[in-house]
Amino acid sequence: MLATADALATLLGAARPIAGTESIPTLDALNRVLSADVTSPLDVPPMNTSAMDGYAIRTADLARDGASRLPVSQRIPAGHAPAPLQPGTAARIFTGATVPPGADAIVMQEQTEAAGDAVTILHNAQPGEWITAQGADIRSGSIILPAGTRLSPQALGLAASVGCAVLQVRRRVKVAVFFTGDELTMPGEPLKPGAIYNSNRFTLRGLLEKLGCEVTDYGIVADQLAATRATLREAAVAHDLILTCGGVSVGEEDHVKPAVEAEGRLSMWQIAMKPGKPLAFGAVRRAAAREQGDAEAKAESETSATAETFFIGLPGNPVSSFATFLLFVRPFVLRLAGMQTVAPRTLSLRADFTQPKADRRNEFLRARINEAGGLDLFPNQSSAVLTSTVWGDGLIDNPPNHAISAGETVRFIPFSELLS
């Protein structure tokens, strides 16, 4: 069986950022991936500003042996241009307002006593005190968001802070998804004997949409070779990735493997992980390549990413498909979207449980963080128990042949990382 790290390396080694970019309003760019650096055209802040409500003063006007009484010569709210500060006076100023020319410090109002048109300064202020200098946050000409950044809410705010109304982003990754299995039934339909509801369709579509993909859902495809091949051919036309769930084993009713082999190329792996052992990876030829003939199309597909559409086949058990998506499909899609850093951040946390039986595979155990800061284990780690994915906060990445003792430190991957 193939190690999880080796399988992931193979997937990421094949992924290349998709072609195609677009300009979109910054307000609409959440979770999109930048195709070009964002460079600031200005300093932020663009002028010296007050960090406090108080009084702008010249420190040279302060008496060094006691309180200083100064007439208030002007009032400066935020958004208003001040006049130069007259020597021997103070200016009433508010947080975020422009510091008047000539002033070299701000005295917070709690360290003053105002009376009439004058203020008594009770603090021996130093030059620069409570002044946010021009460019303290961002310098004009600096790159504030490099290409390949996936735009978070705070990244959008940063872009807006330098006046960017439009951003250059890569187009969305286009993913076609379908599900195989005559036993699958959609919620709302009668559940016949031997049938199950298709939970994977809801889980995987939600995961793809959370990644910002443009999803085409072909629904449930009949367990027939001809139907599977026809769906693959249609899905390959205008998508970057075809994702399927179920039918990647070698049983008589598992038609995905021969269908992909007939329409393209396929590698099937037995991954040394639990849950989620079977995983398929390959590509389906697009129509233009198919018309050239199988041999010529295969040769072109090896040199031209545009001649084929990537294919990933996930196992059908709900937790297996969930885990393999998070660990393999997610980083693959993010790499297609133009991101370089796709590995989730992990935590080192204390196991507040014992698991004496080690498995020869790399286990990904559903667990959640308890009030003491340790990890509790979901009692049933079966690949069919979807409840564990809602109950848990993430996955424990447990190495092969390793039993876990209470109190030891384990590697924990939060769902907050895997679902972002």
CA nearest neighbour of 127 among 77, 71, 56: 56
Please tell me the distance from the alpha carbon of residue 391 to that of residue 379, in angstroms, as a whole number. Answer: 11
pLDDT band at 299 (very low <50, low <70, confident <90, very high): very low
Helices (H) and strands (E) in the chain, counts: 11, 26
Per-chain mean pLDDT for the chain: 92
Longest dimension (CA), the chain: 95
- What CATH number was assigned to the domain covering residues 21-42+145-170? 3.90.105.10
Q: What are the domain boundaries of the chain?
A: 4-19+172-336, 21-42+145-170, 49-132, 347-418
pTM of the predicted model as reported, rounded to 2 decimal places: 0.86
Pick 49-132's CATH classification: 3.40.50.2300, 1.10.12.10, 3.90.1150.10, 2.170.190.11: 2.170.190.11
What is the percent of the chain with per-residue pLDDT over 70, rounded to a whole number? 94
Question: Region 391-416: what's the mean pLDDT?
Answer: 97
Q: Which is more confidently placed, 105 or 224?
A: 105
Output the six-digit token pair for 274: 């639990």
Q: Which residues contact 141 (CB under 8 A, 6 or more apart)?
A: 39, 40
Q: How confident is the model at residue 240 (pLDDT cuts 50, 70, 90)?
A: very high
Confidence of residue 203 (pLDDT cuts 50, 70, 90): very high
pLDDT band for position 298 (50/70/90)? very low
The DSSP output letter for 207 is: H
Residue bearing tokens 């504030």:
144
User: Measuring CA to CA, which residue among 131, 161, 130 is closest to residue 145?
Assistant: 161
Instruction: Specify the pLDDT at position 1.
Output: 87
Map tokens 């679902």 to a residue. Answer: 419
Same topology, domains 49-132 and 347-418? Answer is no
Burial class (CB in 10 A: 0-12, 13-18, 19+), 343: exposed
Confidence of residue 100 (pLDDT cuts 50, 70, 90): very high
Q: What band does 304 get if pLDDT is binned at 50, 70 and 90? A: very low
When pLDDT is averaged across residues 390-416 and rounded to a whole number, the result is 97
φ, ψ at 323 (rounded to 5°): -70, -45
The CATH homologous superfamily for domain 4-19+172-336 is: MoaB/Mog-like domain (3.40.980.10)
When pLDDT is cut at 50, 70 and 90, the band that residue 302 belongs to is very low
pLDDT at 296 over 50: no
> Which CATH architecture best describes the domain 347-418?
Beta Barrel (2.40)
Where is average pLDDT lowest: 112-121, 285-294, 297-306, 337-346? 297-306
